[in-house]
Structure 1
């Protein structure tokens, strides 16, 4: 296993490196976000451990940038900030887990194992999947969407919504089903977020000659081939 540690505090980085290497993990240390983007973002890490309070670009901005660049390696955030809002912000911007300083190394190790195990299961269960409908091509493994050969930039939520619709191709899905699958909301809370994101998707992937997403009034939506 290869882990990238992004931490500028020498005391903490020494502690992390010693503990991880004693458990047979290969560790690379980077002290700031800028160097991660310049030198390490294209490497296939098993996990990134990232402090939030970094010099220059902070850890949250780094996670945002990595996700924007379609780097989907699991990211575990470290922070002395322990409020619920701090955790929610980190997770919403693309982190996979969050642990508050100070922490027990055994807990950190368990979280690392859980994140990498989940990633391994996903890779084993997800064969190469490329779907094409008219001018639309969706590569589930590389998180790429192309329209007429041109790559389209989708946000993580837009991509997740599109994938859910494709997984249910030619089937009607309700707004509540979409809320549950994409946003984790298990009830209809009268939000219009589904309709808003459907509109975003249509604007990005459809044109007068190629329509994919159809509205069933009072019911939901259907992705048709």
Structure 2
């Protein structure tokens, strides 16, 4: 069973998250301050941790930083009421894998959790740790790396997420709304042009000729299909 640690000092928020994640089938442990959360992270093999930023005793940033310094690899999503870019950057620099700004919707949080677990290999097919040849790219989803002819090819966070989702449903038509919900969450919906631009960039890195795609196809009126 997938285990998740929630470190949150506001009891209503803590209980709400715990109840909803347990309803989704996760095993949940909790802490209400930074020092307790850090000790639990150091001594328990969680699959994921949700850390509030503003907490008594020790901030979520400091908990994450201290855990990383002591070798803890547990994926971390920061929960923050602040929307300033500097806070997001600090969280990622301290070793967080993602962040979500309060207030957030449950479905968005669940989508972020699924995405992190999929990248870390928990709840995802074991062969996600292998290299997969997708057109011109050799991709390792667990390692978040991609190569073409021995040279590393840079893919953005969202490009990996979209490609991974298409790969998990390879040779199937993927509904556009399902892709949006899984990668972005239901509380934030990009425009059609944004999605098209991501698909275009992926085609430029994968296809022999991005103007004549043979691997990432558009299924008009429905969504996309990855052909392998």
Q: Give the SS at the match of 1:50.
A: strand
- The alignment covers a number of residue pairs equal to 136
CA RMSD of aligned residues (A): 2.6
List aligned pairs for 1:98-137, cutoff 5 A.
98-120=99-121, 124=127, 126=129
How many angstroms apart in 2 are the aligned matches of 1:93 and 1:38?
A: 17
1:96 and 2:133 correspond: no
How many angstroms apart in 2 are the aligned matches of 1:38 and 1:53?
A: 17
The equivalent residue for 2:30 is 29
Q: 1:106 to 1:125 in 2, by over 3 A?
A: closer
Q: 1:74 to 1:39 in 2, by over 3 A?
A: closer
Q: 1:94 to 1:9 in 2, by over 3 A?
A: same
1:70 and 2:83 correspond: no
How many Å apart are 1:20 and its aligned residue? 0.6
The equivalent residue for 1:197 is none
The equivalent residue for 2:8 is 7
Q: In terms of mean alpha carbon deviation, does 2-11 or 115-124 score higher?
A: 115-124
List aligned pairs for 1:1-225, cutoff 5 A.
1-120=2-121, 124=127, 126=129
Q: What is the TM-score of this pair, normalised by structure 2?
A: 0.54
How many Å apart are 1:58 and its aligned residue? 0.6
How many angstroms apart in 1 are the aligned matches of 2:120 and 2:96?
A: 14
CA contact (8 A) 2:80 2:100 kept: yes
How many angstroms apart in 2 are the aligned matches of 1:88 and 1:107?
A: 20
Q: What is the TM-score of this pair, normalised by structure 1?
A: 0.54
CA contact (8 A) 2:41 2:72 kept: no
How many angstroms apart in 2 are the aligned matches of 1:75 and 1:85?
A: 18
Q: Give the SS at the match of 1:41.
A: helix
Q: 1:90 to 1:123 in 2, by over 3 A?
A: farther
How many angstroms apart in 2 are the aligned matches of 1:81 and 1:122?
A: 35
How many angstroms apart in 2 are the aligned matches of 1:22 and 1:125?
A: 27
How many angstroms apart in 2 are the aligned matches of 1:41 and 1:124?
A: 28
Q: Give the SS at the match of 2:38.
A: helix
How many Å apart are 1:125 and its aligned residue? 5.1
Pick 1 or 2: higher relative contact order, CA cutoff 8 A, min separation 6: 2
Structure whose CA Rg is larger: 1
How many angstroms apart in 2 are the aligned matches of 1:75 and 1:36?
A: 12
How many angstroms apart in 2 are the aligned matches of 1:66 and 1:109?
A: 23
Q: In terms of mean alpha carbon deviation, does 99-108 or 115-124 score higher?
A: 115-124
How many angstroms apart in 1 are the aligned matches of 2:125 and 2:24?
A: 24
How many angstroms apart in 1 are the aligned matches of 2:97 and 2:127?
A: 19
